Copies of this chain bind each other. A is one copy, B any other.
Amino acid sequence: MSTKVENIKNYLESKNVKPTYHRIMIMKYLEDSKEHPTAEKIYEDVVKTIPTISKTTVYNTLKVFVEEGIVEELNIAGTTTHYDLSKQDHDHFLCLECGRIYDISPEESLGRNCVDTIEGNKVDEVKCYYKGICKECLEKDN
**Number of residues on chain A facing chain B (CB within 8 A):** 34
A95-B121, A110-B128, A122-B138 known, 16 other contacts, Cβ within 8 Å: A93-B121, A93-B123, A104-B119, A110-B110, A120-B134, A120-B135, A120-B138, A121-B130, A122-B132, A122-B134, A123-B130, A124-B133, A125-B130, A125-B131, A127-B128, A127-B130
B residues in contact with A118, CB < 8 Å: 93, 104, 108, 130
Binding site for B on A (CB under 8 A): 73, 75-76, 78, 81, 93, 95-96, 102, 104-105, 108, 110-111, 113, 118-135, 138
> Is there contact, CB below 8 Å, between B123 and A131?
yes
Q: Report copies per complex.
A: 2
B residues in contact with A76, CB < 8 Å: 75, 127
User: Could you list some 7 contacts between A and B, CB below 8 A?
Assistant: A93-B118, A104-B119, A118-B130, A121-B138, A122-B133, A126-B128, A128-B128
